[in-house]
Amino acid sequence: MTTIELERGENNTESVAKMLNWVLMIAALVCSVWLLIWAVEDKFSRSEVAENTTVTAEMRERQLGCLAKNIYYEAGSEPFEGKIAVAQVTMNRVNSSQFPGDVCKVIYQKNVFYERVVCQFSWVCDRVSAFKPVNGSNYEESMVAAQKVLLEDYRLPSLKEALYYHADYVNPGWKKEKVAKIGHHIFYK
């Protein structure tokens, strides 16, 4: 191979590499735009127009069941205050524009990050079987906590703005403001 052919070969390799870089950047941009469109459409499809603000007994019963189940799986072995705290964060999310406006939709909300499904509450992704509480007394206490928070509007003052929490044995590295530690959970706004 002559020097001229070698130089052309290098130029072709460089050209192919540059073209490949452009193709990859465009593909990444298209994927990013597609994910953004999907996220916006998903958020709007979950929002409900409040045509009728009347809450039926059936709706309230469904919400109560979802909330009690969330408390049971997230804080079943926690003290009563810990159960109230999980319920309150759930309700804070319901009342926030950042999340769906329905108890069950907040609990079962899933997001996609880097092609991976992430649940807002870890038990939702972990549990695939039908719900049957293993510890009846923990579930009963979870139901009482759900009733106090959902039906009686009971709140812990320290968690007025809390939207997030995690177990104290993990460190997600969040850059959020810590507002309380209750039982084995750390709460943030």
Q: Is the pLDDT of residue 42 over 60?
A: no
The rounded distance, in Å, linking the Cα atoms of 109 and 120 is 6
The rounded distance, in Å, linking the Cα atoms of 59 and 75 is 24
**Residue-wise pLDDT tens digits, 148-171:** 999 999 999 999 999 999 999 999
Query: Does residue 40 sit in the same domain as residue 62?
Result: no
Number of domain units in the chain: 2
Neighbours of 106 (CB within 10 A): 25
Query: Does residue 20 sit in the same domain as residue 61?
Result: no
Q: Do you know the residue count of the chain?
A: 189
In a domain, 52, yes or no: no
Query: Does residue 41 sit in the same domain as residue 100?
Result: no
Query: Does residue 152 sit in the same domain as residue 175?
Result: yes
Query: Does residue 133 sit in the same domain as residue 99?
Result: yes
Q: How many CA atoms lie within 13 A of 58 on its CB side?
A: 0
Domain range for residue 146? 57-188
**Residue-wise pLDDT tens digits, 81-119:** 999 999 999 999 999 999 999 999 999 998 887 888 888
Query: Does residue 102 sit in the same domain as residue 39?
Result: no
